[in-house]
Structure 1
Amino acid sequence: MPRTLAVVGGGWAGCAAAVQAVDEGFEVTLFEMATQLGGRARRVDIEGVALDNGQHILIGAYTECLRLMRQVGVRTTLDLLRLPLQLAYADGTGLQLQAGHPVPALIKAIVGYPGWGLRERAALLSAATGWAWRRFRCDPMLTVAQLCAGLPQRVRHELIDPLCVAALNTPTTQASAEVFLRVLHDTLSAGPGSSDLLLPRTDLGRLFPETAADWLEHAGATVRRGSRVSDLQALPDGRWSVNGQAHDAVILACSPTEAARLAHAHAPEWAECAQALRFEPIVTVYAHAPGARLPLPMLALRSTDMAPAQYVFDRGLLGGPTGLLAFVVSGASSWVTRGLEATAEAVMAQAETELSRFLRPPLRLVRTIVERRATFLCEPALRRPAASVAPALEAAGDYIAGPYPATLEGAVRSGVAAAQRLRRRLASQR
């Protein structure tokens, strides 16, 4: 008789855990309190168009995301636009890698960086060589700003700052240099294509969680949308009661707050660690300009105290309506404090300044979306909750202890690992 498993939370971690658990032989029930799956990377409908609660990107090194997408039926070669890593600006400057192995491509891109002088290029090559010599390791107490303090200001502003906020959603003055270097290492060391950008051509729901739900139901699993888990109890026989129904094991793949609420009676120290995490918001501003077309699907923007967005995406080049642009403000706590209306106004002014050659007025604000707890604040020496909470009770999510910042790949990997651990532990008990 198959073991029963409850997965609490239908975001990317929960859906990954559920799919893997079916493969491991579990009889799975997935609980999601919202009516829609995806968590912080989900579909939203804006003016009748299926878009997202925030613009997300993947990279070629996201091997577990790609594996599970293909398993559940996502056409990754069609639903993701693959491009060599680019941090290109509207004026033609920026870092632009060619296809191939990322290390020689990066060196070539730095040497040929348009607009940089010999000093900027030599300083970055020297720093990168030093990071590689030290095996991309550093003092765990260093911030990215401290790690890169010796680089010219232009290198820090045009490359390090946008890379850091894209990878860690944390400003360089607060971001962990140790995690930043680990991301660089894994992006550059996994062979050809590992640093490629993978831009979704469909909404985030269909890209994995909703497609995974279809796969799960076809495989015999139960998916309960709009079903919040209000009660989690340990049973005398070692099983767990979830909303009054007994299960052999449970994976908490919900938010840290929800997971701490459910786990507090059973693992108070774990719950306190989860509750102690601090979070950083991301703001996405959707705007429309008739006939607008950017030279690339994704452009970097020069962010300042008056210009909040670091990136803009042309949704018309990604399968969406022509002229629809998505502006992303990462590390957005200071702008959320100023207010969403002020943030949107600043983004609109920034767009008209930096993208004027590609826009025909009027540029119309469509929607401003804030994900207030988008990612944990990735600070140096951050203590994150362990994956194992209690016997037969695991946790999954991008905030669980591990080597990576809060990313879709981190969430998916944690879900897969949680299902695998439970299968091994329950098998050993038999």
Structure 2
Amino acid sequence: MIPPTRLAVIGGGWAGIAAAVSACQQGAQVTLIEMAGQLGGRARSLATGETPPFAQLDNGQHILIGAYSQSLALMQALGVDLGQAFLRTPLRLRYPRHEGLQLPAGAPLTSFARGVLAYRNWPLLARLRLLAAAGGWLLRGFHCPPTWTVQGLTAGLPECVRQDLIEPLCVAALNTPAAQASAQTFLRVLHDALFSGPGSADLLLPRLPLSELLATPAQNWLQARKTDVRLSQRVQQLSRSGSGWLVDKEYFDQLILACSAVEAARLCADIQPAWAAQAAQLRYEPIITVYLHSPGSTLPAPMLALQEGPLAPAQFAFDLGQLGQQGERSGAFAFVISGAAAWVDKGLAATGEQVLAQALRELDWASPPRIQRVLAEKRATFACTPGLQRPPREIAPGLQAAGDYVQGPYPATLEGAVRAGMAAARQALKKPG
């Protein structure tokens, strides 16, 4: 009897979880090694030691869309009830004082056309120009020159369309401002949202803490199948050993690096210097989340889009009470700043105060809001810029990379991470011939 493949997955974020689960399903003997004390990577929940509703905070607010099929399928395979885990609605951009574009249910292309034509806050000419531009993207197969930015791609659209729709979607999907963001990657996200079938453009807002969406169910699922899950362990060295690999002197037949690009570059510097240099050159965009507390208050919708400006850092606000179970998060609000490098430079305390001032100007409150916590994920995503050369999945024979930063059509999203993890597992366990 042929023994199962011994496979190590280094890194327990969403890519590493997807790789470990997929490899386990394919019959491999999996060891999952994570340097932090918990799984989840950059999409996890943090115990704060504070009282509810802030006893547990996510290190950032994450939105999925209906087109993220692999992420949703993975959660279901781990026993997550998607109806309980998410508030799912057709795409809706609600602003504090007015309703933004919203798409009705139905086939994506028809829904998009109906939603745009029905949106009376834009002049008819602006709506027609958006539909004409979208038709042009469709005719060109949602492709454009690789050097184009989102700002360049949409330069012919009216200012109201760019401000109310393009810029919020761009920063939400790519975490990169439209002036610097890759138009080709942005078009890929639009393609999948509009062509992946009914509901592909739906917004899925998490009702549960992030760790309960994937990390905790995955850890339980893996350990129930005798997978070796090692937390708080940082791998120091990789080396070749015959046809396999040594991970700190422990032998494995196959190896998947699902850690950050920075950590992967460190581990591969001597094994494959060119790959390590490419991974190390990636630039990053931070995300800041400002948590406010205002007992008795609610927002006009569970998620609001906000107009960004020099004195208005946040682009989105979330009413965690409307999203939480049984009102246990009532009075808790998360304001999100994507592409937040300039605000990181100004300091988290100053940024929190500026968000508080923005919230007071733009929203009505039942009680004076106060800052509860300001969290920054300084390497939240790679900067998704035009012509970016991302490192390939294969580093060396038997050594794969998995992460949202490896070559692929998606920006640094949860879906990109999950797909990369699954692809690495399939390649690692591919039968010869």
Provide the residue aligned with 1:269 in structure 2: 274
Tell me which amino acid in the other structure corresponds to 1:405. Answer: P
Name the Cα RMSD after superposition. Answer: 1.1
Which segments of structure 1 move beyond 4 Å, counting only runs of 4 or more?
Answer: none
Give TM-score scaled by structure 2 length.
0.96
Q: What whole-Å deviation, never above 9, does each CA across 1:264-323 have from its counterpart, x for those lacking one? A: 111111000000100000000000111111221111011111101110011001114111
Provide the residue aligned with 1:386 in structure 2: 392
Whether 1:41 and 2:69 are equivalent positions in the alignment is no
- Residue 114 of structure 1: CA displacement? 3.5
Provide the residue aligned with 1:428 in structure 2: 432
Whether 1:284 and 2:292 are equivalent positions in the alignment is no
Separation in structure 2 between the aligned mates of residue 225 and residue 163 of structure 1, nearest angstrom: 35
Provide the residue aligned with 1:323 in structure 2: 331
Provide the residue aligned with 1:314 in structure 2: 319
Whether 1:332 and 2:337 are equivalent positions in the alignment is no
Give TM-score scaled by structure 1 length.
0.97
The 5 Å alignment of 1:14-93 reads 14-46=16-48, 47-48=50-51, 49-93=55-99
Mark the runs of 5 or more structure 1 residues left unpaired by the alignment: none
Provide the residue aligned with 2:197 in structure 1: 191
Q: How many residues were matched structurally?
A: 424
- Residue 93 of structure 1: CA displacement? 2.7
Query: Contact between 1:12 and 1:39, CA under 8 Å: does it hold in 2?
Result: yes
Query: Contact between 2:175 and 2:285, CA under 8 Å: does it hold in 1?
Result: yes
The 5 Å alignment of 1:211-226 reads 211-226=217-232
Tell me which amino acid in the other structure corresponds to 2:295. Answer: P
Separation in structure 1 between the aligned mates of residue 153 and residue 277 of structure 2, nearest angstrom: 31
Separation in structure 2 between the aligned mates of residue 349 and residue 106 of structure 1, nearest angstrom: 35
Q: Which of 230, 244, 250 pairs up with 1:245?
A: 250
Q: Which of 128, 140, 150 pairs up with 1:122?
A: 128
Query: Contact between 1:7 and 1:252, CA under 8 Å: does it hold in 2?
Result: yes
Tell me which amino acid in the other structure corresponds to 2:345. Answer: T
Q: Which of 341, 348, 351 pairs up with 2:349?
A: 341
Query: Contact between 2:317 and 2:335, CA under 8 Å: does it hold in 1?
Result: yes
Separation in structure 1 between the aligned mates of residue 244 and residue 45 of structure 2, nearest angstrom: 35
Separation in structure 1 between the aligned mates of residue 342 and residue 126 of structure 2, nearest angstrom: 30
Q: Which of 174, 178, 185 pairs up with 1:168?
A: 174
Provide the residue aligned with 1:376 in structure 2: 382
User: What SS class does the counterpart of residue 429 from structure 2 fall into?
Assistant: helix
Whether 1:229 and 2:232 are equivalent positions in the alignment is no
Separation in structure 2 between the aligned mates of residue 140 and residue 400 of structure 1, nearest angstrom: 17
Separation in structure 2 between the aligned mates of residue 143 and residue 79 of structure 1, nearest angstrom: 35
Separation in structure 1 between the aligned mates of residue 357 and residue 107 of structure 2, nearest angstrom: 38
Q: What whole-Å deviation, never above 9, does each CA across 1:343-373 have from its counterpart, x for those lacking one? A: 11111111111112xx123101010000000
Query: Contact between 1:103 and 1:188, CA under 8 Å: does it hold in 2?
Result: yes
Provide the residue aligned with 1:364 in structure 2: 370
- Residue 210 of structure 1: CA displacement? 1.7
- 121-130 vs 56-65, which deviates more? 121-130
- 126-135 vs 217-226, which deviates more? 126-135
Separation in structure 1 between the aligned mates of residue 367 and residue 74 of structure 2, nearest angstrom: 42
Provide the residue aligned with 1:302 in structure 2: 307
Separation in structure 1 between the aligned mates of residue 236 and residue 292 of structure 2, nearest angstrom: 39
- Residue 151 of structure 1: CA displacement? 1.2
Query: Contact between 1:94 and 1:114, CA under 8 Å: does it hold in 2?
Result: no
User: What SS class does the counterpart of residue 428 from structure 1 fall into?
Assistant: coil
- Residue 403 of structure 1: CA displacement? 0.5
Query: Contact between 2:297 and 2:367, CA under 8 Å: does it hold in 1?
Result: no
Separation in structure 2 between the aligned mates of residue 158 and residue 266 of structure 1, nearest angstrom: 47
Provide the residue aligned with 2:265 in structure 1: 260
